[in-house]
A and B are shown apart, each in its own frame.
Chain A
Amino acid sequence: AQKVTQAQTEISVVEKEDVTLDCVYETRDTTYYLFWYKQPPSGELVFLIRRNSFDEQNEISGRYSWNFQKSTSSFNFTITASQVVDSAVYFCALSEARTDKLIFGTGTRLQVFP
């Protein structure tokens, strides 16, 4: 069965701090896709990053970076030098091959204080 776990319910940081959001997933498929989405108070889910199971290279994009480790089934997301505008709920999601069905974690609410 597929499952995504985000153990952190809420995180509070002060502006300019780095923050890492944890995500652990379960799947039996060898080909799968992992995503991070951001949901600001307006409600729309905003796509942030995507990682394919066959590509374990970790990257940095601006203030965002991610650490994908198949050995521990983790896909953690880091925001460097956080800003107040980063305040939102962040969702990790999993999708297996041949299906557009996204399995979401319960989300982590990030509050960045000035």
Chain B
Amino acid sequence: KAGVTQTPRYLIKTRGQQVTLSCSPISGHRSVSWYQQTPGQGLQFLFEYFSETQRNKGNFPGRFSGRQFSNSRSEMNVSTLELGDSALYLCASSLLSSGGAIDTQYFGPGTRLTVL
């Protein structure tokens, strides 16, 4: 079974631009989460989507948004890029959360975004 895939793997943008990152979960996985990893802040949760609905959101400004499609693929968008948005963006998928129990999240290779 193929793992989580993310595109593109590397991206260079300039301040003020916007960017869209894509994530395809493991086949059959319906929950997709996004994380930002920086040297200063470490790994931080951005948001989680399940059945095309955002279920959880981290403490990030509104410039960070996401969505999930009916096939569980997800995209995240960052508008008006700032230098501090330079980071590794990781996507993770899990099978299904039900009845309070959670499933293990499996991560993709990440998209490394550089903002100049």
Residues of A within 8 A of B (CB): 31, 33, 35, 37, 42-47, 50, 91, 95, 97-107
Contacts and interface: CB of A to CB of B under 8 A. Distances in A.
B42 A44 contact: no
A1 to B, nearest CB: 13
Interface of B: 31, 33, 35, 42-45, 48, 50, 55-56, 58, 88, 90, 92, 94, 97, 100-110, 112
Contacts of B92: 45, 102
Q: Is the interface of A mostly helix, strand, loop or mixed?
A: loop
Contact of B48 (A31, A44, A100, A106): A100
A103 to B, nearest CB: 8
A35 B43 CA distance: 14
Contacts of A31: 100
Given A42-B109, A104-B42, A97 B100 contact: yes
Given A31-B100, A43-B112, A47-B105, A100 B31 contact: yes
Contact of B104 (A47, A104, A106): A47
